[in-house]
Amino acid sequence: MIYLDHGATSYPKAPGVSAAVANFINDASGNPGRGGHRLTIAASRAIEGARVTVADLLGGDPERTLLGPGATFWLNTILCGRLGPGDRVVTSALEHNSVMRPLRWLEDERGIQISVVEGISPTGVPTAAEVQEAVNQAPTALVVLCHACNVNGAILPIEEIARRVAPTPVVVDGAQTAGALPFDFSHSGLAAFVCSGHKGLQGPSGTGVVLLAEDFVIQPLIRGGTGSNSESEDMPVVLPDLLEAGTPNGPGIAGLGAACAWLADQTIEAIRHHESLLIKRCINAMQEIPHLRLAGWAKAIPQTGVLSFTIEGVDAGELAAWLDRERGIALRAGLHCAPAAHRRLGTFPTGTLRVGVGPQTTEHDIDALVTALEDRCR
Ligand SMILES: Cc1ncc(COP(=O)(O)O)c(C=O)c1O
């Protein structure tokens, strides 16, 4: 199989991930922090070791690096925990529903105000000046932006935005960039950086991370057992316990730790270089295919290893099914959980086909896709 759906999740996982998951299940399946027998200690060690590895890779403070079920969970935690009646939020037109759905819910239920920066670029990427202008229009509680759009892969200048809008806190959805773009949270100026563990970080499904700046306080979305302060019916105030209620996904976290150790060894710079070459190869070849249109693409805007395209007169869903069935090529068609981005890019409601490359994608994979598209469109 040729797997080109890394925008959705990574496959295959990094070497060492499945062994780490199995080792946790077989040798460390105690409940971490709950009790003092050897299995709980082994579980705690595996999880805390993974936390340090993840934090080191992304430039976070391990004490403020929280592990949970995914980017969606942490975005909901931050948005629902920070925003109340009358608060104003500035966001982009390229957001995933993990941002837009909680924001729309907060708009309906708590009366927050949402200001969407459309951006003049055909990619929908706002400039830092455009975001700053939106923030300056009225008191703003929070800026929330994707680091890169999951539809067209376009990268937002998040560090420059954070500098310009300071001290307004900037929360970034790095689901599409963590592990794929070199990034150092400690020098980013961001209040929080959220990401999936299962995409560019190459870890198991059901894992996600948030890195919090020292002065950025959030409230838990869920409350429950932590193994600490069990005499109290209130949540402990210390991290990670405050934000990690319930038995954690130990096997997933152990796998994520192994994946991040592999990434550190490969270096994210090398992975970025590899994926950039592949996506450029894909763009160059696709530009030669008649009736194929790259969605929200512009040469001047840097992008991840993700792109979207449409072919005039061809149904995206049918083409994806044909590629899978006839050529063994896996990619995704549709709206990619980002209707707002498709509206902005002019591909709503039919959507696009999305290509996403990963560390183990080869030039041959890209060439096979291009040949298949040429054959199909002939
Ligand atoms: C930009 C973006 N944000 C958030 C998410 C949600 O991530 P998770 O699956 O880790 O909850 C995704 C996944 O598709 C995404 O692409």
Domain boundary among 233, 266, 299: 266
The number of angstroms, rounded, from the C-alpha of 145 to the middle of its chain's C-alpha atoms is 11
Question: Rounded to whole angstroms, how far apart are CA atoms 164 and 207?
Answer: 32
Q: Is the per-residue pLDDT at 378 higher than 80? A: no
**Segment 9-58, tens digit of pLDDT:** 999 999 999 999 999 999 999 999 888 899 999 999 999 999 999 999 99
Q: From 11, 96, 155, give the residue whose CB has the most ligand 1 atoms within 8 Å, as the site to mutate.
A: 96
Which percentage of the chain shows pLDDT scores above 90?
97
- For the chain, the domain total comes to 2
CATH, residue 234: 3.40.640.10
Q: From 77, 196, 210, give the residue whose CB has the most ligand 1 atoms within 8 Å, as the site to mutate.
A: 196
Tell me, yes or no, whether 6 and 130 share the same domain. no
Ligand 1 contact, 203 CB (< 6 A): no
Rounded average pLDDT over 140-146: 98
Tell me, yes or no, whether 126 and 225 share the same domain. yes
Domain boundary among 234, 266, 298: 266
**Segment 246-257, tens digit of pLDDT:** 999 999 999 999
Tell me, yes or no, whether 60 and 178 share the same domain. yes
Does the pTM surpass 0.95? The reply is yes
Reported in sequence order, the residue ranges of the chain that DSSP labels E, i.e. its strands, are: 2-3, 65-68, 88-92, 113-117, 142-146, 170-173, 192-196, 208-212, 292-294, 306-311, 329-330, 332-334, 352-356
Tell me, yes or no, whether 86 and 217 share the same domain. yes
Residue written as token pair 């927050």: 112
Domain boundary among 245, 266, 287: 266
Tell me, yes or no, whether 279 and 258 share the same domain. no
Tell me, yes or no, whether 51 and 131 share the same domain. yes
Task: Work out the mean pLDDT of the chain and round it to a whole number.
Answer: 97
Ligand 1 contact, 176 CB (< 6 A): yes
Tell me, yes or no, whether 213 and 342 share the same domain. no
Alpha helices in 171-294 (DSSP H): 250-266, 268-286
pLDDT for position 351: 96
For ligand 1, the distance from its centroid to the CA atom of residue 194, given in whole angstroms, is 10
Tell me, yes or no, whether 253 and 288 share the same domain. no
For ligand 1, the distance from its centroid to the CA atom of residue 374, given in whole angstroms, is 31
- Tokens found for residue 141: 């509680």
Question: Rounded to whole angstroms, how far apart are CA atoms 174 and 183?
Answer: 10
CATH, residue 285: 3.90.1150.10
Tell me, yes or no, whether 210 and 132 share the same domain. yes
Q: Is the per-residue pLDDT at 377 higher than 90? A: no
Tell me, yes or no, whether 113 and 256 share the same domain. yes
**Segment 199-221, tens digit of pLDDT:** 999 999 999 999 999 999 999 99
Which percentage of the chain shows pLDDT scores above 70?
100
Tell me, yes or no, whether 236 and 271 share the same domain. no
Tell me, yes or no, whether 122 and 256 share the same domain. yes
Domain that holds residue 345: 2-12+267-377
For ligand 1, the distance from its centroid to the CA atom of residue 211, given in whole angstroms, is 16
SS3 call for 66 = strand
Q: Is the per-residue pLDDT at 313 higher than 90? A: yes
Q: Closest by alpha carbon to 248, among 13, 53, 64, 40?
A: 40
pLDDT for position 123: 97
